[in-house]
């Protein structure tokens, strides 16, 4: 009788064992396929918290758009005195990507994929980001800090990326890139290296804010090191916010999306532990609560980033890999930042001005024209 009970128990327990083994197998496969992008997200979030603690503005441990804008001011291309500083984080990201690409034999000098269009769309993306006051990466950091305005921006970014993806499906294509001389791929990384050397050795060459966000910064060597680490990991993991949304919509691949979820969770936990979490729309650092403009600004960033093949962070990574088309896009970011502050289209903590509203409308019109013209040309 006992033998029969034991046999019956074993038969009933077999499905439970099989189910448990299946779950374990799924979890192992999940982490095997996604561990690098998750680790990248955790490190990016932790580095942002560290840089913030060391002196960077609140909810701005990293911001590709804001930091490029600060560099533009530091070299005298705009005169907004509160946002001028040579940000080592940007330099570090490019150098880290370049180092890892060389080590992994993924450095490929290439160019020729619609450079003028990339330049123009890059400028539009930067204008949109400065209306929102942040790139997609800073959007995640703001979300982790409790800034509800960033969730409005996220909605705009997703819808913008969705629009861009729809046009990709309709045939939008910037054309193939062609192999270039290897020296071509090193141009912007070398410029970044020289810029850092000058900022370190002859800081008097550059403008530097004495108040405002530009005056808040982590020690230069630590900021560079943080940028290098992020550049290395982002290069290996292909970390990209726009790419995550695009791949989810087009291919049902969630890999990259997990990376920015990891950023939000890491920053959220860190801010809660440090007592820096501030939930709400009002009184958020370097932010405004004009919901419509936050939505529309990030809509431009999402749409433009998908057309360009990557968000502002991804463009820096590709530049480090030797992609001159991405270097042209980064140059477009620089031009857009100069336009935004010289013509008053960038927002402030008080919100966007009249010029910002006009700029957003103009950006959508130009984006639509560029997109439709390219789709038509690709389908002919």
C-beta separation of 112 from 174 below 8 A: no
- pLDDT at position 331 over 80: yes
Rounded CA-CA distance 294/150 in Å is 8
Listed in sequence order, the residues at least 6 apart from 273 whose beta carbon sits closer than 8 Å to its beta carbon are none
Q: Quick one: pLDDT at residue 2? A: 56
pLDDT confidence bin for 8, thresholds 50/70/90: low
Q: What is the pTM of this model?
A: 0.93
- CA dist 125 and 135 (Å) reads 9
pLDDT, tens only, 135-168: 999 999 999 999 999 999 999 999 999 999 999 9
Query: What value does the mean pLDDT of the chain take?
Result: 93
Phi and psi dihedrals of 179, rounded to 5? -60, 135
Looking at residue 251, its pLDDT comes to 83
**Percent of the chain residues topping a pLDDT of 90:** 87
In this predicted structure, the answer to whether residue 9 has a pLDDT above a threshold of 60 is no
Over the stretch 86-144, which tens digit does the pLDDT of each residue have? Answer: 999 999 999 999 999 999 999 999 999 999 999 999 999 999 999 999 999 999 999 99
pLDDT tens-place string over residues 50-91: 999 999 999 999 999 999 999 999 999 999 999 999 999 999
Mean pLDDT of 226-254: 93
- Per DSSP, the residues of 301-333 read HHHHHHHHTS-HHHHHHHHHTTBHHHHHHHHHH
Give every CB contact of residue 126 below 8 A, 6+ residues apart in sequence.
65, 68, 69, 312, 332, 333, 334, 335, 336, 337, 340
pLDDT interval class at 361 (50, 70, 90): very high
């Amino acid at each position: 009788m006992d033998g029969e009970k034991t046999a019956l128990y074993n038969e009933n327990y077999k499905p439970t064992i099989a189910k448990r083994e299946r779950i374990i197998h799924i979890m192992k496969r999940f982490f095997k396929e996604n561990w690098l992008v998750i680790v990248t997200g955790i490190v990016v979030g932790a580095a942002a918290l560290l840089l913030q603690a060391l002196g960077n503005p609140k909810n701005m441990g990293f911001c590709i758009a804001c930091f490029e804008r600060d560099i533009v001011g530091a070299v005298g291309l705009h005169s907004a005195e509160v946002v001028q500083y040579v940000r080592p984080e940007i330099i570090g990201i490019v150098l880290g990507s370049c180092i890892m690409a060389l080590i992994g034999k993924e450095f490929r000098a290439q160019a020729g994929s619609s450079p003028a269009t990339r330049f123009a769309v890059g400028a539009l993306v930067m204008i949109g980001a400065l209306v929102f006051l942040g790139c997609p990466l800073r959007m995640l950091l703001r979300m982790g800090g409790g800034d509800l305005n960033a969730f409005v921006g996220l909605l705009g970014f997703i819808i913008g990326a969705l629009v861009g993806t729809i046009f990709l499906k309709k045939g939008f294509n910037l054309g193939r890139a062609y192999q270039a001389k290897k020296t071509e791929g090193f141009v912007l990384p070398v410029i970044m290296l020289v810029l850092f050397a000058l900022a370190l050795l002859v800081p008097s060459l550059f403008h530097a804010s004495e108040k405002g966000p530009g005056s808040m910064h982590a020690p230069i060597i630590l900021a560079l090191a943080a940028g290098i680490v992020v550049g290395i990991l982002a290069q290996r993991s292909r970390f990209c916010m726009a790419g995550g949304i695009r791949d989810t919509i087009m291919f049902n691949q969630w890999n990259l999306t997990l990376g920015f979820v990891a950023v939000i969770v890491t920053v959220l936990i860190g801010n809660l532990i440090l007592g820096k979490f501030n939930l709400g729309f009002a009184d958020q650092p370097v932010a405004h609560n004009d919901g419509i403009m936050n939505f529309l600004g990030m809509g431009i960033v999402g749409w433009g980033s998908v057309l360009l093949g990557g968000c502002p962070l991804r463009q820096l990574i590709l530049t480090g890999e030797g992609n001159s088309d991405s270097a042209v896009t980064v140059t477009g970011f620089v031009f857009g930042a100069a336009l935004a502050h010289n013509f008053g289209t960038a927002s402030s903590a008080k919100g966007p001005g009249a010029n910002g509203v006009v700029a957003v409308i103009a950006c959508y019109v130009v984006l639509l024209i560029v997109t439709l013209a390219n789709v038509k040309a690709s389908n002919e």
